[in-house]
Amino acid sequence: MADIACSELILGGQRSGKSRRAELLALDWLAVAPGHRAVMVATGQAWDEEMRERIARHQADRAVRVPGMLTVEEPLALADAVRRHSDGHTLVLVDCLTLWLTNQMMPADPVLALGESAVITAGEDLCAAITSATGPVVLVGNEIGLGVIPMGREVRTFVDALGRLNQQVAAACERVTLMVAGLPLTLKGNT
């Protein structure tokens, strides 16, 4: 059984094993005691057919891998969702911070897009919810800043904002894990 931290940020690239690690932590939590619960806060939104299919596939796979884990969809009010679902018997799994930030900065209606200072404030609110949570919180996010500097102002702005958000959340979490090729590398905290 894995050691479950009070809070853990799991970062990595696409298909690196981030979500799988988070699900294994939830399974371990559920196995510890019959009264334990796990709630996954899903931040993705189905804007097109491919994303609808992807979400349906993830839901079906997750139901098999982590039976009994409740899923709630919350694309925007993530700090409130963490506060609402956290208690001493419930592990809250957030998947994923990158999609949550996308929803904040690039919503379907561009008029609703948050600016830089509002994004930072939303990140601070999320960090406050993480540190005040009474049960474990596991957050999944992408590390996308390891490649070349992207073309286009909007993409560079997003990459910068995600880097800042990852730093904010990493500072608030007890443990930070980087996933590479399905293997965890502990960056902060005990293993």
78/123 Cα distance (integer angstroms): 10
Q: Is the peptide bond before 173 cis (omega within 30 degrees of 0)?
A: no
Residue located via tokens 């992807």: 54
For 161-187, the DSSP string reads HHHHHHHHHHHH-SEEEEEETTEEEEE
Other Cβ atoms closer than 10 A to 41: 24
| CA nearest to 126, candidates 87, 77, 89 | 77
* Residue of 36, 58, 85, 89 marked active site: 58
- The answer to whether residue 58 is catalytic is yes
Tell me the two tokens of residue 155.
């993409």
Other Cβ atoms closer than 10 A to 32: 12
Tell me the two tokens of residue 164.
């800042």
CB-based contact 38:29 (threshold 8 Å): yes
Structural element, H or E, at residue 71: strand 70-73
Q: Which residues are catalytic?
A: 58
